[in-house]
Amino acid sequence: MSMSDRTVGDAFAKALKRGGVPYVFGIPGGGSAIDLIEACRTVEIPFVLVQHETTASMSAIVAGELTGSCGVCMSIMGPGAANLVGGSSFGLWERHAVLSLTESYPTAQAPRMSLQLMDHSQMFMSFSKASEVLNDDHPGEQASRLMSLALAERPGPVHLDIPNDLLTRRAGTGNHSTSHAQEDAIKVVGDLGAITDAVDKAVKPVLVVGPAVVRVEACDELRMLAERLGAAVVTTSKARGVIPEDHPLWAGIITGVYGDTTFEGRIVGQSDLIIGVGLDRMELLSPWNYSQPLVSIDSIDTSAEQVGSPTHTVHGPLDRILAQLTEAVQPAEAWSMAELSEFRGYVRSSLLADSVDLNSATLLERAQSMAPPDTTLVTETGIYNAVNLFTWKVHAPNLYFGSSGANTMGFSIPAALASSLVRSTQKTVALVGDGGFLMKASELETLAREKLAPIIIVFNDRSLGLIRIKQAAKGYERDAVDLAPVDFAKLAQSFGGRGERVATLAAFEAAFTAALDDDRFTVIDARLDPDVYASHMGPIRG
């Protein structure tokens, strides 16, 4: 049946459109999902069919991040919803806004059914800010309110059940709000004067920056504060691009490893004051362990999930707080450009970036030198990802997407799918290990069907490299970490993509150059020496 402007589905789809939703990702069933597809089609929101529900959620998240909207994904009831909840957990741990939609039985029918029946709300509420059932009175307003809740600091997932008989019903006639944006806090809460005094007394302060600065668009104010102080800037991985990583004050990435001999420790350990700005402990691998004084600046009260034990805290509009602090503090040159330049050189040499052989550092540096400046990099957990944090330079927000809160495999290909859809005129490069690639290899069909052309680089050491290192560190026998040989290039070709297998730097350069000019997706199967590959982790993680 065709849907008029008076149906629940029409009102719901229009709310998604008003919210800037570019795509809905999912796997439809025969109930409310196909009604939603039709309703979204009429407002020009494509429904992208994927191969697994976690892909739907992860792709929706990245599409939302790239457009400043809430990601939207959908599944069937029961087993599909159980898969989709995994994607919601990703949104929770990574602080991303995503609206997860699930088909459900009509309210009157559910008590008489057992097939695929489960309490979706109970399941999703473990990972969501809210779980509701769509109503037919104000469906557009309900959708807008839930998306606004998802986007509010700290961002996260929300869930909505859509009964299978609901979207084709006549909608209520209530007024629909066109905006539910979170109101900026108008007050600065905390003692900014005390923080100013602490900064002025410090000899070598370091700015440790989290992703809230990006979300509230306070990057310029952060950079001006850093330049006023001459302070080194260390970011979490999700805050990459908050300051261009070729800026002379950029000093690497913090992951919460703390060792004095790690890249992180060599910078943060030298400081006598840590200025945390939008810092989120969700990204830290272990509890805060730096002993020097810490002050905390954020957009919201973070006392429930405080990083460390700050001596002073302040929260409110970050752009205003940072601007006021910049004006109040005394100008300084806390860090010399020479010592930071020397540190960056040490990082490159430690990662064998000057080698003529193919390793993860040489591969990444060479790839970035050939890629367009506006290339989006997507990655997931793995040795190559740890290396990328210090080799591939991110120059602006939203040119990098990875997994640090969930710290999971299986994200790169869904992220590349979304990035390639939203940024169809820009290149997307995806980094993935052999194990992570195998988790999402079926999505090559999605890339082919949608005519997308990301470049997927598989770091192939035929093992779960990080787990193998941890296993060896405990003196255990090598077990359950090795993979059978797979020709990833041929696998790509079987889906209609370009596939290249490389074992030298020259071969990689040739393959990457060809991929840049191809209108198909490309998989570059990079065969790496497992021992050299593993050696990178020492100076990064300790």
For residues 238 and 252, give the distance between their C-alpha atoms in angstroms, rounded to a whole number: 12
Residue by residue, DSSP assigns 284-319 as -SS-----S-EEEEESS--GGG--S--SEEEES-HH
277 token code pair:
């700005």
Global pTM? Answer: 0.94
Q: Look up residue 142 and give its amino acid.
A: Q
Q: 351-541 belongs to which CATH class?
A: alpha beta
Q: Which residues pair with 314 in a beta bridge?
A: 190, 297
The mean pLDDT of the chain is 94
What pLDDT does residue 2 have? 40
Give the residue carrying structure tokens 């037919």: 136
Interior angle at CA 81, CA 77 and CA 85, nearest 5: 160
The side-by-side arrangement of strands in the sheet containing 400-401 is 400-401, 376-378, 428-433, 455-460, 522-527, 498-502
CATH architecture of 8-163: 3-Layer(aba) Sandwich (3.40)
CB contact set of 380 (below 8 Å; sequence gap of 6+): 402, 403, 408, 409, 410, 411, 412, 431, 432, 433, 436
Q: What is the total residue count of the chain? A: 542
Q: What 3-state class would DSSP assign to 432? A: strand
What pLDDT does residue 4 have? 52
What are the backbone dihedrals phi and psi of residue 409, each rounded to the nearest 5 degrees, phi first? -85, 170
What pLDDT does residue 173 have? 67
For residues 43 and 34, give the distance between their C-alpha atoms in angstroms, rounded to a whole number: 15
41-61 residue pLDDT tens: 999 999 999 999 999 999 999
Q: Minimum mean pLDDT among 14-28, 290-304, 458-472, 491-505: which range? A: 458-472
Question: At 364, is the pLDDT very low, low, confident or very high (cuts 50, 70, 90)?
Answer: very high
Q: Are both 189-339 and 351-541 of the same fold?
A: yes
448 token code pair:
């082919």
What pLDDT does residue 175 have? 52
205-253 residue pLDDT tens: 999 999 999 999 999 999 999 999 999 999 999 999 999 999 999 999 9
Q: Say if residue 3's pLDDT is above 70.
A: no
Residue 147 vs residue 353, higher pLDDT: 147
What are the backbone dihedrals phi and psi of residue 48, each rounded to the nearest 5 degrees, phi first? -100, 115
101-129 residue pLDDT tens: 999 999 888 788 778 878 999 999 999 99
What are the domain boundaries of the chain?
A: 8-163, 189-339, 351-541
369-417 residue pLDDT tens: 999 999 999 999 999 999 999 999 999 999 999 999 998 999 999 999 9
Q: Say if residue 184's pLDDT is above 50.
A: no
In this structure, how many other beta carbons lie within 10 angstroms of the beta carbon of residue 114? Answer: 6
Query: CATH for 189-339?
Result: 3.40.50.1220
Instruction: Report how far apart, in Å, the C-alpha atoms of 442 and of each of 418, 435, 495 are.
Output: 15, 13, 9
What pLDDT does residue 140 have? 97
